[in-house]
A and B are shown apart, each in its own frame.
Chain A
Amino acid sequence: MKTALVACVVSLVCLFTVASLAGPVDEAVKSLQSLGKEGVDNQAATRAWSVAAQANANELTTLLAGLDEANPLGANYLRAAVDVVVDRTLSAKSPAPLSAVESFLKDTSHSPRARRLAFEVITRFDAAAPDRLVPTFINDPSTELRRDAVQRLIDQATSLAKDESSKPAAIEAYRQAFTGSRDLDQIELLTKELKNLGVTVDLPTHFGFVMNWKLIGPFDNTGESAFDVVYPPEKEIRLDAEYPGKGDKPVKWIDHATTDAHGKVDFNKALGKANGVTGYAYTEFVAPQEMAVDFRVGCICAFKLWVNGTLVDGRNVYHSGTKIDQYIGRGKLKAGKNAILVKVLQNEQTQNWAQDWEFQLRVCDATGTAILSQDRVAAK
């Protein structure tokens, strides 16, 4: 009885001690997770960061878990705290809870960035860890982790490709890498290497670019005035209708199937070269069930994107650069047919570099994995 009582007291003391040590870090993490815009929480964040950065190594997973709920600002405060804790632990040659951090890494319910940081923490203590861990990342929900796995396969394939007898193995490694790849630079490299080995890949399908559209235009955009002008396609989708376009010239919907590997829809080619104009592209996307998706647009001109009548994204900016995944709109597909409408506006700049009137759209999940319409026709 006496022994039990002592054990109980010791346990309570331990619990109290752990709680009192962990408490400040927990509270600091919490206060760093949802920092307001325009620096309004900066002073409190600075104080909380000082506490978080004083955490001991055993609290690394507390800091890492804090990233799960942190907004982008908070994630950076927490990341910097983790780096400081790791620096201090390494400098003191103190032990780190690598087993717990690795368990955290393997738990895909944690945020991709938290898990990536966990991997980097492990790597700083154990330089050999990537050899063991990276091959497991080829289908990881963290694109940063996946990228390393793809690179490892690229390196293997490149080495294999030097030997004629190993080319089948090189092709297989490149194929695996291509299937896992989500980053444009790696996808482009893999496409080129596979082509050199006689293998053609279906880039539009890999990315999930929408290739088949109905187009209509031009409507007026003189003086960049039409971003908020509601032309008929924004009121109704009647594919057999005819409307007055720019200068009252009648316009009607035409079929357009792009063959561009990156799904670019070029209004200049489809409707005729023009400036100070507005064009619309419409397509129907068949989803197997309701799902949250990314609608990723690349557009050198001003644009708006609606899905089932809801505005998902838009930007009133002209000729300020473009690239795949330039704008990422988070939206929803409903089960069955979904109406996707894109408005693309060209201005009246006269420079050669300001003449493109085009866009690209792909549908994918948050990792960039393509989501294809169920009625998509396979590439020939």
Chain B
Amino acid sequence: MTLTHLLTKSATNGRGFMMKAHHLLLTALTFACGFAPLHAADWLQFRGNDQRAVVTDSGVPTEWNVGEQADGSDSKNIAWKHKLPGRGVSSPIVVRGKVIATSASGAVQERLHVHCFDAASGKLAWERQFWATGRTFCHPSSSVAACSPASDGQHIFAFFSSNDLICLDLDGNLKWYRGLTYDYPTAANDVGMSSSPLVIGQTVIVQVENKGESFAAGIDAYTGETKWKHARKADMCWTSPTVMSGVDGKAVVLLQSTDRLTAHDPVTGKQLWTFDKTCSGIPSSVGSSDIAFIPSDGITAVRASSGSTSPEVLWSNNKLSPGTPSPIVVDDQILVINGAGALTAANTKDGEVAWRARLKGSFWATPVVAGNHLYVVNRDGIGQVLKLGKEGEIVSENKFGEPVVATPAIADGALYVRGDQHLFKVAKP
């Protein structure tokens, strides 16, 4: 058998079936972009499938204890935990019963890891390692594994601060590899980069903004080829692309830079509208229905009408200034954690403050919501659970025993938390 035969066979094997399956999935995802809270079967990217970090699942424990015994005999509601090599501040994701986490090890975190665990048993299904092709310097508080991976349900797109973008299937087979700093050598930030990729349909959207070559790109999920690429402001920015619904119900991607926010068609990259005001370079926007809540002058809510190149400003409230965590929207409230660790809930309709709660510690991780409970973990690794109602009531504090910077994931009644050293599954027995 020659290489040609093998390559031809490989190229045609199952491609038709996969394409059909993929189109079905795309259809499902398109409907998912209607933004009703999803059933918590999967958690496909940073802040979940629709990036609102909210699921209806009410089975997640509200109390847990990691314990101190190595065998976990004194733990409570910790289904499993795994030591991870090196460092990582990226969120885990959950895809079809598999938990994906990334980390970086080595003298300068030049070794990139993608781990896949069986969600039920916690058993390591596979691990793949790569050598970073881009720069791996970053601030000690961050990591080269800072960007959260994303999935379209059948592929994993692992992205790193070195701007290595790796596509694997769910069995760990390498589909394609892009080194975006290898492609564009000045695209780098030696403080570290942390923008997480966003998958919409068959496009993986990455935002690479730094003091060198800065751009956003739409990468073909199947081939890794560039579908579109736009220059962005050359400035340090750590925000992630965000999905929201356009006026026609189609998905729109928001790219938030320090000088403006632009909205694009995810397939073509065509700019649809622009919000020309200074925006935060760390917390990302959140979309709810056709309204974008932008970290700008506190929070500014905007809605774009059909054909308009600039959105209507619905309200702005400078008392809602988010710190590092991104805002989230729960029903008719937007929740913001400021730099001092205060959680504020405001009405999405007018931005008026509804209630405030004082949290313990400082935060990098974005809170997540399951059912009527909010889960937020501070940098010291204390997970605080709030019952949401007319106001937020702290119902428990639970220690992970190590720093936590990554935003948790929720799937099938479990909370997945990536600590500085371990990946934890919090679930009832």
Contact = CB atoms under 8 A, between A and B. Distances in A.
A113 interface: yes
B177 A321 contact: no
Given A38-B226, A72-B182, A73-B177, A147 B6 contact: no
Contact of B190 (A27, A39, A183, A321): A321
A207 to B, nearest CB: 14
Interface stretch (B124-132, B267-275, B368-376): B124-132
Interface in A1-27: 20, 23-24, 27
A138 to B, nearest CB: 16
Contacts of B108: 183-184, 325
A24 B10 contact: no
A310 interface: no
B223 A80 contact: no
B183 interface: yes
A377 to B, nearest CB: 30
Contact of A39 (B3, B107, B178): B178
Contacts of A28: 3
B401 interface: no
Interface of A is mostly: helix
A81 B129 CA distance: 11
Contacts of B212: 315, 317, 320
Given A24-B1, A27-B3, A320-B190, A77 B107 contact: no
Contacts of B27: none
A87 interface: yes
A84 B172 contact: yes
B70 interface: no
A326 B191 CA distance: 11
A321 B11 CA distance: 44
Contact of B107 (A84, A184, A321): A184
A322 B179 contact: no
Contact of A320 (B1, B10, B175, B211): B211
Nearest to A28: B3
B94 interface: no
A76 B130 contact: yes
B210 interface: yes
Interface in A44-59: 45-51, 53-54
B223 A72 contact: no
A14 B183 CA distance: 44
A316 B188 CA distance: 12
A43 B223 CA distance: 6
B224 A39 contact: yes
A184 B136 CA distance: 14
Contact of B133 (A48, A54, A72): A72
A144 interface: yes
Nearest to B126: A87
A322 B138 CA distance: 9
A323 B137 contact: yes
A80 to B, nearest CB: 4
B210 to A, nearest CB: 7
B2 interface: yes
Given A38-B183, A80-B130, A321 B191 contact: yes
Given A24-B3, A47-B11, A80-B174, A73 B225 contact: no
Given A37-B182, A47-B11, A79-B131, A320 B225 contact: no
Given A48-B7, A321-B189, A83 B129 contact: yes
Contacts of B175: 46
3 shortest interchain CB distances as A-B pairs: A321-B190, A183-B107, A27-B3
Interface of B: 1-3, 6-7, 10-11, 106-108, 126-131, 133, 137-139, 166, 172-179, 182-183, 186, 188-192, 210-212, 219, 223-226, 236
17 contacts: A23-B2, A24-B1, A42-B176, A42-B223, A46-B174, A46-B223, A54-B6, A72-B131, A72-B133, A76-B130, A80-B128, A83-B128, A144-B106, A185-B107, A320-B189, A321-B191, A321-B192
Interface of A: 20, 23-24, 27-28, 37-40, 42-43, 45-51, 53-54, 72-73, 75-77, 79-81, 83-84, 87, 113, 143-144, 147, 183-186, 315-323, 325-326
